[in-house]
Structure 1
Amino acid sequence: MKLPVKFIEQMKEQLKDGYEDFLATYDHKTHRGIRVNTLKISVEDFLKITPFDLKAIPWTDDGFYIEEERPAKHPHYFAGLYYIQEPSAMLPAVLLEPDENDTALDLCAAPGGKTMQMAAMMKDSGVLIANDINNHRLKALIRNAELMGLRNLVVLNDKQENIRRVLNHKVDKLLIDAPCSGEGMFKKHDDAISAYEDYDVEACVSMQKSILDDVLEVLNGQGQVVYSTCTFNTYENEDMIRYAMNKKSLSLVDMKKEHGFEPGIDMKEVIRLYPHLLDGEGHFAAKLTYEDDYEEIRLDESANQPPELLQAFMDENLTEPLEGMFRVVKDKVFLMPSKRLDLSGLKVVKNGWFLGVLKKNRFEPSHAMALSLKKDQVKRTINFSGDAIEVIKYLKCETISCDGEKGYNLVCVDGHPIGWGKYASGKLKNLYPSQWRLS
């Protein structure tokens, strides 16, 4: 691997005696990880059913190193039981510590790994907002949110200045995983070096300052922010923290240096992750608190009645009807988050749980609805073991011969939903979405 000369000189100066050990990591394979989706299964129960050989990642309770080459091909992945994530990238959400009572914002969210992690930590409660200005990347975030079974997520596609205006002083926990030069990704992504050479550090610094100029104003009194990057230079890291502290009354939280974490450069409170000191790629993280009076934010928790066709579907197929605030957009039905902010003026691309579509005389349930339900919430289910050939056939959108009850059935693997099927005369009509088909 031919590393940029500028980067080599920078790291020699930064690491000094540790540079040769750092350089040697580029001859090693990347560390790969999965994070158990505790919204669907406990870590203990997942370890009982997974066929993977796993080793715990020390800085998170639900993350594991994995040697399996194709974890995205296993049926448990299609049930949303785990998310594939680089081990170092699991740290920022752990440091932020969002909980179920928070209003939280993941500002640069796509493709959604940290968003999914925050949702699990918040038990899919409170208010979690994920934003990204890249509309194409948001499609991956929404797919991942549906796969993980998130119900209470709001997804935005807006500029930070608009977010500042609408969410001014309303956010308890803010994650800024800033767009950066990606020096820590050179080994993981082949195009990271070419992107680095085409898109210089100065441009990233300018973008990061622009983000901080606007978005820090969303913090409520006593709010907390974690700023992170996957790069090594000081311009995008420690210097950016100093810039933020000069902009607003923020205090650095001194985080433990454990598991191979290093303190920052002339900033002992922050954390640097180097690949020669731990099993992970490059990362930087800093946590800050905002010292001001807390403003109580009134959240909407009102409810309404579902559309008649949806109610008829629930009566026929669910053990208990869903309740909350239902919203119909054209012919699509959503169950909105249990706690809601007024987001008027922002570009909202997803607001809550997409349940399905209203047809002329029926309700057609969505794949997202199936993946957010529990097996015991549906009257008719068909369950296959994780190694059953029927599961593979189902994921390939094939019709399956099996025993069942007539009507909609929730198809499960090891007791966890993977989609809908319609059963009649010994056959299960496959309703798995073709765009998600296992190849």
Structure 2
Amino acid sequence: MATNLRLGSLVWWRRWSKKEWAVAIIVFFTLTISALTLISNSRTDLADNSPAADDLVDLTLLHNASHRGAFCLDGTVPGYHFQKGFGSGSHNWLLHIEGGGWCNTIESCSLRKMTALGSSNYMERRIHFSGILSRDPSENHDFFNWNKVKIRYCDGASLSGHPESESKNGDKLFFRGQLIWEVLMDELLSIGLSKAKQALLSGCSAGGLATLIHCDDFRKRLPENVTAKCLADAGFFLDEKDVLGNRTMRSFYHDVSLLQGVAKSLHKECLAKAEPSECLFPQQIIKNIKTPVFLVNPAYDFWQIQHILVPNASDGYWRKCRLNIHNCDPSQIQILQGFRDSLLMALSDFQKNKEGGMFINSCFAHCQTWMAETWHSLNSPQINKKTIAESVGDWYFNRKEAKQIDCAYPCNPTCIHMNFL
């Protein structure tokens, strides 16, 4: 199954500078998330009298953020959307961290602060909860009646920046991601999270990376008797060379880490052996996480293919392939299969983790938990007749082992492949 999404005008086919590459990431993430939201909304068939039809959730600004100095990039107060649980889910909590890339230069962070990814001034005041956040039991059987929080992402460093690094910027920017996380958690604990019986921290893309970074801290902030776990969706970014032999993503992470002082939020065990840019990759992070983790990741993650494996296409050879996997020729497919192999190799130790779970499908996709169509519906991607939602539920509630790894492309007819041409 192919989903058409035409964003060809966003791509410039020449070799980019670091500034251009970072700016393009912001634009790409903002418009892609908007387009995916439109797709999700247009395909959600809800009766007028359905509870989910009125499922718009207001933005709440963090109450103590100004007092504690927890600011978005532009100095505005961060926010979140909260929907109260009911019935059997009244004492259970699900947190979901929004995705949206990163900024690695003063220029790209300055551009970012003029968007919802860097300022609460631009955030939607009401949003629709769907997928893992839905309160429709047919769409979200295991978590529909939990207390649910969507955490808005406005720091540009996966909630891990530190103010000590602000002296490096010429323009006034606030690198307060870690503070945002701490103030947010304190506020949620004060409104009921401290009394949780079950809790799940999740996130998409850069939010998935933030989930892994803060997973153990999330666990530590809750009472010992709480069942607390973490779910990272499309957050397992690979430290791989691109088709030109460059480590584009490692170089980018190096700049993010240096600019925003990310190292203080990373595991000391890793930092003792490697540079912060390497310790920012999930393959290193999961080695030190003690809390149970579930990984949802497409083996052909279109964002990673377009920014890690093929970050530019100066000769035009990769243009159609990187925007639509159905247009890849046999030699390109072979390279994509090698990228899949690298993902499975990076997960080889994690597969032995008895408390861990995974859903690695063979779709040309990115972020699959927050839309009904990919989370759980009649048309959702499946592995062994299980949707992502069913696999996550099996893992969270210990119903059965949930380590689903798909066969290689193009074997899975249930996949929803994005098309950017």
| TM-score, length-scaled by structure 2 | 0.32
Structure with higher helix content: 2
Greater relative contact order (Cα < 8 A, sep 6+): 2
Pick the structure with greater CA Rg: 1
